[in-house]
Amino acid sequence: MDKQARANHLRECLRQEVMMSSKKFSWFGVLHKAIKCPNRRFHFWWRIASYWHHSDSNFLKKRATKINRNLIFKYGTDIQLGAHIGPGMVISHHQGIVINGSAVIGHSLRIRQNITVGITGANVHKEPISIVIGNNVSIGAGSCIIADKIRIGDNVVIGAMSFVNKDIPSNTTVYSEKTLHVIPNKLHAA
């Protein structure tokens, strides 16, 4: 992505995620909302850090890394700066979120607490890693998307506590079946 396209992407992300308005983008509006609304600060700082991370300046890259470390410490959310996430990301609860830096995610992502989008770590042949998640995807709490090469289509809902390691077509809902077994303890029986 060239410099102008990255700048336009940053402005659109800040307009949707920090200003949360259909009004025209303005730095005054973004800064006002980032200061006034604590729940929008993560988006502001992560988007700035991500923009700086992709710059040519080593100084800005170091600042971006420092900002991201502070965000991980403060919010418990580890979205690596290499990840490309489209505008309109919504994080319901920040704790325990991990997104790998090789992920490419479309617009209007909705994520909840304790989710992981990562790699298996078993890529012994050093094949290119490709984690692609489409537009309008909702990932439920406690879900894991773990693969070195995976594609999740548009308009997908991933249910809570799901484990995904295969491609998912567009316009589908995915969940892992869970069963609860209640077994009485014989230890306390009279």
d(CA 159, CA 143): 7
Domains of the chain: 1-75 (no CATH), 77-178 (2.160.10.10)
At 186 the pLDDT is 79
Residue 93 among the catalytic residues: yes
Looking at residue 168, the DSSP 8-state letter turns out to be B
- Exposed/middle/buried for 125, CB within 10 Å: 0-12, 13-18, 19+? exposed
| pLDDT tens per residue across span 102-140 | 999 999 999 999 999 998 876 656 777 789 999 999 999
Give the active site residue among 54, 84, 93, 107.
93
Collect the ranges in the chain with pLDDT lower than 70: 122-125, 188-190
Q: Whole-prediction pTM value? A: 0.88
At 130 the pLDDT is 85
CA 144, 171, 18, 25 torsion: positive or negative?
positive
Average pLDDT, whole number, for the chain?
Answer: 92
Going through the chain in order, the beta strands assigned E by DSSP cover 77-79, 84-85, 90-91, 97-99, 103-105, 110-111, 116-118, 130-133, 138-139, 144-146, 149-152, 157-158, 163-164, 173-174
At 179 the pLDDT is 80
At 111 the pLDDT is 97
At 1 the pLDDT is 73
